[in-house]
Structure 1
Amino acid sequence: MSDEADKPKAFSTSRRAFIKMTGTAGCVPIFPGPFSVFSNYIKTAPIEDMKSTDFTDPRPSVIGQYGSWAATLPNNPPKLSFRNSHWDNPDAWRSEAQSKTLELMSVPEMGMAPEVTLKAQYTFDGLDIEELSWQLPYGRPTEATLLKPQGAKNPLPAILGLHDHSGNKYFGRRKITCTSSDPHPLMSKHQEDYYEDLAWANEMAKRGYVVLVHDAFAFASRRILYQDVSEIAWGDLKITDHTDENPEDPENIARYNTWAAYHESEMAKSLFCAGTTWPGVFFAEDKVALDILSARGDVDARRIGCAGLSGGGLRTVYLGGMDARIKCAICVGFMSTWQDFLLYKSYTHTWMTYTPLLPNYLDFPEILGLRVPLPTMVLNNNEDSLFTLSEMKQADKILREIYDKANAADRYKSGFHPGGHKFDEQMQKDAAAWFDKWL
């Protein structure tokens, strides 16, 4: 067997060891196929805006001796940062910065709103639950779960629940919902590990919200089925898909997730070749879900929020920053700076994070800051191994500066909690209180 065909097995060993070491929950390290370097051939700026090439940091960089050079490339603040002195009006800034961000994300066109199919309707855990699906212009139908208080009649505020990554593409919406007394054992363990044994979408619905959770691009119903690419020489992984006899066997799911982690770099490169980006596709599909949620008769479209842990926090950054229909956004376990990814933590993160060239214009927290003065919360974990604590605090400082400058300091709140990567009960209570205050 060729070295190429052996890659999934080699990756599996490295991936398991790394996840065991770091406790990765929301993003998966992708060792094969390192991210390509995107930069301008020539960077020009007025002399007074040029950044010093002096950079010293005792910590080792993930790109070795090149870290001290690469850290000097972005302008600080970036070109379209609201922290630059020439920006005074947040509306004018938002218009230009969102336009550039959309250009770089290269969001694919979704066309007309899809027809929504009601697949099942039932009551569980004091909630009325609907199983929904809709067909986008590409791929298999998106499946979603909607939860709301049992018997609710009047329009309610709503939350778009954005599920995590967790190195597990076999599952999506089931990671943060519970719709039966016999959930998949892997999802019970997942919620125990990262949500303190709580399905947070259910908990929010019980408080009086309509909560919609849909499978994100490349997860669960939207995942790449192995049967569609099995003729390519990935190696003999013996993966079964949803049409097979027992695809939900834990060993089969583990094999699929190992392959899907390896395949993530191939998907990212293909999206770049198609002229789009993974954040662009996420944003397009999440906007469709937001369209569907907003159009419901049982939803007050003036009071919609979104939230998510890790990969869901990443999606919150882009959706919350780019769509003003999100009146309250809560990012959990995914806030740092581009410099953190550049120098220290790119290997702990998914390809889904990156919009090439965007760091020239906005730092990562400033994407979420585009929503100023709309209410925003960021919840961090002090021992989260996916980020460096100093850069999480720097991201918090950046967001505070943006909200302070826009005279909206009371609409930004953050929290730093003890422990590793998670959205535990106390953090969920903090999030719920913030939603209750603003929605």
Structure 2
Amino acid sequence: MKNNRRNFLKVAGITGIGVAGAGILSSLANVPQPASEPEPAADPQPITDNSQSIIGLYGPWAASLNENKIPAFSFRHEKWQKVGKWKKAAKQRLLEQLAIPDIGGVPKVTLKKTYTYDGLHIEELSWQLPYGRPTDAILLKPENASGRLPAILAFHDHGGNKYFGRQKITRTSASRHPVIEDHQKEYYADLAWANEIAKRGYVVLVADAFLFSSRRVLLEDVPPQLRKGLDDSNPEDPNNIKSYNIWAAEHEHVMAKSLFSAGTTWPGVFLAEDQKALDVLCARPDVDASRIGCGGLSGGGIRTVFMGGVDPRIKCAVCMGFMTTWKDLILHKSYTHTWMSFVPSTPNDLDFPEILGLRAPLPTLVLNNIEDGLFTLSEMRESDEILAAVYKKAGAEKNYKCTFHPGIHKFDKPMQKEAFDWFDQWLKG
């Protein structure tokens, strides 16, 4: 039992946890913890009996609602022949379902600090949106760089860790918080991938996502009966960070319900805030706004799907460790994913990969892990076939690529090289 809590957080927290896991988390939080850090847990065990579903006998019925028919706004549907006409209609439909809130114009950016580290010029930035605490961000570019450079909007992961955000994929000094050190070793081959691609000649912006790090929900801001006896004191202590992350996982269904009740969606809020970060990046005098890419692992992959699919300013997109079909989520894997992933009614109009496919013919790379327990391999492959069909019909087969790497959920060094080479091909050519 000693690894139960970590195992569950690993399974359900790589990209988040749904409401079904809330009670489990509560019980696992009371399991006595070992004195030393346990060994990293494996990915979720694959479901090998495809005759069963995670919602029991209701699974086949739910899957049948859209089974064996092409969604209404899919470019694979015979009624759509011209890519421009399809994109306009399908994107408008998706935007209606996302219910993106209006959060104003380009935010005013505050430069908090500037310094150099490991050959990079680093800026610590902040901007205030109309709600919540300020968004903190880190910008990196090669030291002594001049002129307008291509740029990357880099998305951090979820990882079951809302206490941190931008810090998960950056490195700004020789010392790291132990939680970040463990995180980067586990998912990124001990590399800060935002730093690594900045060294290739990019301006890279990493902003905290909605509900992460500077944007997280503080315990002092919610009613006492929801705090589970926790508070915001000693925030940097690893044990307090673990406790906060368990609390934040349990709070996801509360936030999702409240957002739905407000007439918006979690992906819609993500997209609204990520577009403000993109506004900030495009407005910089050292950025060539015609050469901007985006990418991220896991929860960052979700954000890449929506940002890459919706915003044409993203000229190159790389989705890492988040690609499957709605069928996979219905029958097998919704329990491993966050409330941040879902937009009601969209499956009637677009399969999940087709959201990213809305960017066709703009270049797109999808990186998968063969043993990734967050998805079934068959549906990852089905997603590849769907996206390949979209790009083929758009006359842009060479602009799409999908690769399957060995191993579990990660963005390791070989995957990083492939992603960075893809960005170089399309943003530096």
Q: Does 1:256 align with 2:240?
A: no
**1:163-195 Cα shifts (integer Å, max 9, x gaps):** 000000000000000001111111011000000
Matches within 5 A, 1:139-218: 139-218=132-211
SS state at 1:71 partner? helix
8 Å CA contact 1:107–1:284 kept in 2: the answer is yes
- The structural deviation recorded for 1:234 is 4.2
| 2:382 paired residue among 394, 397, 400 | 394
| 1:378 paired residue among 361, 366, 388 | 366
Partner of 1:349: 337
SS state at 2:64 partner? coil
8 Å CA contact 1:127–1:148 kept in 2: the answer is yes
The one-letter amino acid paired with 1:239 is D
Structure 2 unaligned blocks of 5 or more: 24-48
8 Å CA contact 1:27–1:310 kept in 2: the answer is no
8 Å CA contact 2:17–2:252 kept in 1: the answer is no
Mapped to 1, the partners of 2:363 and 2:408 lie a distance apart of 26
8 Å CA contact 2:154–2:296 kept in 1: the answer is yes
Partner of 1:137: 130
8 Å CA contact 1:121–1:130 kept in 2: the answer is yes
8 Å CA contact 1:24–1:385 kept in 2: the answer is no
Partner of 1:278: 266
Partner of 1:369: 357
SS state at 1:132 partner? strand
- The structural deviation recorded for 1:230 is 4.4
| 1:120 paired residue among 102, 109, 113 | 113
Mapped to 2, the partners of 1:398 and 1:58 lie a distance apart of 21
Matches within 5 A, 1:68-107: 68-74=60-66, 76-107=69-100
Matches within 5 A, 1:211-226: 211-226=204-219
Mapped to 2, the partners of 1:216 and 1:149 lie a distance apart of 24
Mapped to 2, the partners of 1:353 and 1:83 lie a distance apart of 23
| 2:15 paired residue among 1, 11, 26 | 26
Mapped to 2, the partners of 1:379 and 1:339 lie a distance apart of 20
- The structural deviation recorded for 1:114 is 1.1
- The structural deviation recorded for 1:17 is 3.6
Q: Does 1:428 align with 2:416?
A: yes
The one-letter amino acid paired with 2:146 is K
The one-letter amino acid paired with 1:249 is D
**1:264-286 Cα shifts (integer Å, max 9, x gaps):** 00000000000000000000000
- The structural deviation recorded for 1:32 is 4.7
SS state at 2:242 partner? helix
**1:267-309 Cα shifts (integer Å, max 9, x gaps):** 0000000000000000000000000000100000000000000
8 Å CA contact 2:156–2:300 kept in 1: the answer is yes
Mapped to 1, the partners of 2:281 and 2:105 lie a distance apart of 15
SS state at 2:57 partner? helix
Mapped to 2, the partners of 1:231 and 1:433 lie a distance apart of 50
8 Å CA contact 1:26–1:309 kept in 2: the answer is no
8 Å CA contact 1:108–1:280 kept in 2: the answer is yes
SS state at 1:239 partner? coil
8 Å CA contact 2:369–2:410 kept in 1: the answer is yes
8 Å CA contact 1:28–1:166 kept in 2: the answer is no
**1:14-38 Cα shifts (integer Å, max 9, x gaps):** 7534245x4853334543579xxxx
Q: Does 1:291 align with 2:279?
A: yes
Mapped to 1, the partners of 2:315 and 2:414 lie a distance apart of 23
8 Å CA contact 1:173–1:214 kept in 2: the answer is yes
Partner of 2:46: none
Q: Does 1:239 align with 2:228?
A: no
Partner of 2:52: 60
**1:69-123 Cα shifts (integer Å, max 9, x gaps):** 1111126211110000111111100000000100000000011211000000000
8 Å CA contact 1:30–1:349 kept in 2: the answer is no
Structure 1 unaligned blocks of 5 or more: 1-11, 35-56
- The structural deviation recorded for 1:261 is 0.2
CA RMSD between the two structures: 1.6
Partner of 2:6: 16
Partner of 1:269: 257
Mapped to 2, the partners of 1:436 and 1:185 lie a distance apart of 32
Mapped to 1, the partners of 2:411 and 2:342 lie a distance apart of 23
SS state at 1:31 partner? helix
The one-letter amino acid paired with 1:187 is I
